[in-house]
Amino acid sequence: MNRYPPCPIPSEVFGLMPHTDSDFLTILHQDEVGGLQLVKDGKWFAVKPNPEALIINIGDLFQAWSNDIYKSVHHRVVTNPRVERFSTAYFFCPSYDTVIQSCYEPSVYKKFSFKEYRQQVQEDVQKFGHKIGLPRFLV
């Protein structure tokens, strides 16, 4: 569960920085406050909050597995100046030794295990301060 406390300077502070999820699929529930945004055609759009609905996000592994047919969506959370917000995310991941490989040719990405992917993400975050993600595994 994610808790986003009210923030007096919402234009300067993100609840969650722009990112893609390093999993296969994410099932997300947000409360009625709102704040989740995603990129479409290079622009940020707010996802209308609906506590009755679940949001399904495609993750990096789904993108690699589908050979870029499906895209891992860039998303972020903006803060609210007055109201606290909660969301719940379930990250659907394979086991660490699962090899991610597309059945399409030519393949956009080298095959990699989920463990290798997570280790690379962690290493890049430590080295560069941010995730590089799938571009690391381009053929």
Ligand X SMILES: O=C(O)CCC(=O)C(=O)O
Q: Is 85 a known active-site residue?
A: yes
Nearest partner of 53 among 36, 73, 76, judged by Cα: 36
Q: Which does 50 bind (CB under 5 to 8 A by kind): Fe ion, ligand X, none?
A: none
The catalytic residue among 76, 85, 118, 136 is: 85
Nearest partner of 133 among 19, 26, 17, judged by Cα: 19
Find the binder of ligand X among 62, 63, 65, 75 (CB under 6 A): 75
How many residues of this chain interact with Fe ion, rule: CB under 5 A?
A: 1
Q: Between residue 5 and residue 44, which ones bind Fe ion under the rule CB under 5 A?
A: 21
Does residue 36 touch ligand X according to CB under 6 A? Answer: yes
CB of 105 to ligand X, least distance (A): 32
Measured from each CB, the residue nearest to Fe ion is 21
Q: Which residues bind ligand X (CB under 6 A)?
A: 2, 16, 21, 28, 30, 36, 75, 77, 87, 89
Q: Which residues are catalytic?
A: 85
